[in-house]
Amino acid sequence: MSRVAYYFNNEIGNFYYGPFHPMKPLRMKMTHEMLRAYNILSKFNRIIPEDHPDFTSKIDFTNFHSDEYINFLMTVTPDNMNQMQEQLLYYSIGDDCPIFYGLGDFCRMSGTGSVLGAHYINEGWSQTSINWCGGLHHAKRSEAIGFCYLNDCVLAILELLTRHQRVMYIDIDVHHGDGVEEAFFCTDRVLTCSFHKFGDYFPGTGSINDIGAGVGKYYAVNFPCYEGMDDVSFEHIFQSTVNNCVEKFKPEAIVLQCGTDSLSGDRLGCFNLSIKGHSIGVRYVKTLGIPFMLLGGGGYTLRNVPRAWTNEAALSLDIELDDEMPKHDYLEYFYPEYKLNMPVSNMENVNTPEYLNSILEQIDNHLKNIHISNPDLNLNKGWVDPSIVKDFNPKDNEQEYIDKHPDEKFGEKDSVPLRNVENFEDDKGKK
Ligand SMILES: [Zn+2]
């Protein structure tokens, strides 16, 4: 059986945030059909929730989210939302995170795919699990934000923690992985590492000095970048940083969020990565020999998302795809070249080698504080008391830390630039 497990639900492509919203769930369906056209689908161990009714029925999104918030997500519809004005405001529902038909099902599918993918790794059924319907890294415990409602990344990591002592989260979306970082800000069992555009950019967090707190101090790693990040620079900083984190932290499992808004020409992004440059994440993580999950994330130039995710899913199987795109239902989106790869722009890379090396040096200084005394201590135990995770409440942890350190600035968010989703025309692809 294939060592790569893959989740997809055929309905996911039908959900619709609205005509002027840049987030298009159709991109997951386009990826799925491109994988089929390249004859890759049959090579996966398919993750089918119905095959695991006992496990699936016990998936509990309130392991991270509040009961009230999950109840709200599962019951709110465009028809009853007017009677829920207070909750809409409280949970930050609005232009970025609208209420659409099937929202609860959308969240359930995305979350189930990631938690079940983690279960496949826990059980040793797969070395790699893929869920392109996940990676919704901004969602908070009781808040929808940045097009994200349910934080499947956090839920998957919590599942991995029931069997793995230390889990590393890597995020290559152009936006800071703030929701995941915040959830594990105060623990030393999860190291989060995000590469993102920083400075006057959503969500506003993720500076080099954003390093975690309490026992989690130094277990949050942030690589703030400027616009124009290109393949050569990205390869250098990704490999150096991830290699350094892995050496110090010795993770037993890795979750890689593969947001594609870091690609060149993204409608909301400002990096300049090619399809090949973006795949550095998967290529490098695969060489580590540690079980890993691939999750989706951002990506707003519709035709480029399936290019990257199809390529990266194939790479997880050690397959290099032909640049000539095979015939499939969405081929017209790739007119006129019909190629897997796409050209990058001639925009300036504002990230100078001096700047990047100075950040690498600062990260290295932070990581020197991480000492895993007995990395193999629990390796053969194969099981960690789930109560450690079940009772884990990041907000309690945070409050406890604030109470103990009243003078220290903590979790302070500068004015956060919100995304502006107005003036977005519906994406029909270029013809
Ligand atoms: Zn993003």
* CA of 265 relative to ligand 1 center, distance in Å: 13
Give me the percent of the chain exceeding a pLDDT of 70: 86
In the beta sheet, which residues pair with residue 196? 224
* CA of 421 relative to ligand 1 center, distance in Å: 13
* CA of 430 relative to ligand 1 center, distance in Å: 22
* CA of 373 relative to ligand 1 center, distance in Å: 35
The pLDDT value given to residue 376: 53
Classify residue 321 by burial, with Cβ atoms within 10 Å: 0-12, 13-18, 19+.
Answer: buried
pLDDT in tens, 87-97: 999 999 999 99
pLDDT bucket at 274, cuts 50 / 70 / 90: very high
Two structure tokens written together for 13: 């492509």
The pLDDT value given to residue 1: 64
Distance of CA 184 to the CA centre of its chain: 14
CA within 13 Å, CB half, 347: 22
Q: Can you give the pTM of this predicted structure?
A: 0.89
Query: Across the beta sheet with 292-295, what order do the strands follow?
Result: 45-46, 4-7, 128-131, 292-295, 253-257, 167-171, 190-197, 220-225
Two structure tokens written together for 269: 């992004």
Is residue 406 over pLDDT 60? no
The pLDDT value given to residue 346: 98
* CA of 350 relative to ligand 1 center, distance in Å: 19
Domain ranges of the chain: 4-404
Arithmetic mean of pLDDT, 125-152: 98
Q: Which amino acid is at 290?
A: I
138 included as an active-site residue: yes
* CA of 412 relative to ligand 1 center, distance in Å: 21
Is residue 156 over pLDDT 60? yes
Q: Is the peptide bond before 203 cis (omega within 30 degrees of 0)?
A: yes
pLDDT bucket at 2, cuts 50 / 70 / 90: confident
* CA of 174 relative to ligand 1 center, distance in Å: 5
Distance of CA 60 to the CA centre of its chain: 19
Q: Give the residue from 268, 339, 272, 257 showing the smallest Cα distance to 303.
A: 339
Arithmetic mean of pLDDT, 359-368: 98
The pLDDT value given to residue 402: 56
Arithmetic mean of pLDDT, 133-159: 97
By DSSP bridging, strand 292-295 and strand 45-46 are unpaired
pLDDT in tens, 16-73: 999 999 999 999 999 999 999 999 999 999 999 999 999 999 999 999 999 999 999 9
- Of 136-150, 168-182, 203-217, 387-401, least confident by mean pLDDT is 387-401
Buried b (16+ CB within 10 A) or exposed e, 98-123: bbbebbbebbbbbbbbbbbbbbbbbe
Is residue 259 over pLDDT 90? yes
* CA of 192 relative to ligand 1 center, distance in Å: 16
Give me the percent of the chain exceeding a pLDDT of 90: 85
The pLDDT value given to residue 335: 96
Arithmetic mean of pLDDT, 165-171: 97
* CA of 54 relative to ligand 1 center, distance in Å: 34
* CA of 365 relative to ligand 1 center, distance in Å: 28
* CA of 400 relative to ligand 1 center, distance in Å: 31
Q: Class assignment of domain 4-404?
A: alpha beta
**DSSP run (H or E) holding 235:** helix 231-249
* CA of 135 relative to ligand 1 center, distance in Å: 10
Which among 137, 138, 175, 278 is annotated as catalytic? 138
Q: Tell me the backbone φ, ψ of residue 148, rounded to 5 degrees.
A: -115, 135
Is residue 421 over pLDDT 80? no
The pLDDT value given to residue 431: 27
SS (H, E, C) 34-73: HHHHCCCHHHCEECCHHHCHHHHHCCCHHHCCCHHHHHHH
Arithmetic mean of pLDDT, 329-350: 97
The pLDDT value given to residue 399: 58
d(CA 93, CA 95): 7
d(CA 403, CA 27): 44
Q: Give the residue from 179, 206, 201 showing the smallest Cα distance to 417.
A: 201
Q: Give the mean pLDDT of the chain.
A: 90
* CA of 259 relative to ligand 1 center, distance in Å: 6
Is residue 8 over pLDDT 80? yes
Residues in Cβ contact with 317 at an 8 Å cutoff, skipping those fewer than 6 apart: 2, 4, 40, 43, 44
* CA of 401 relative to ligand 1 center, distance in Å: 29
Scan for tokens 């600035």, then name that residue.
409
pLDDT in tens, 285-325: 999 999 999 999 999 999 999 999 999 999 999 999 999 99
Q: Tell me the backbone φ, ψ of residue 60, rounded to 5 degrees.
A: -125, 105
Q: E strands along 198-246, which residues? A: 220-225
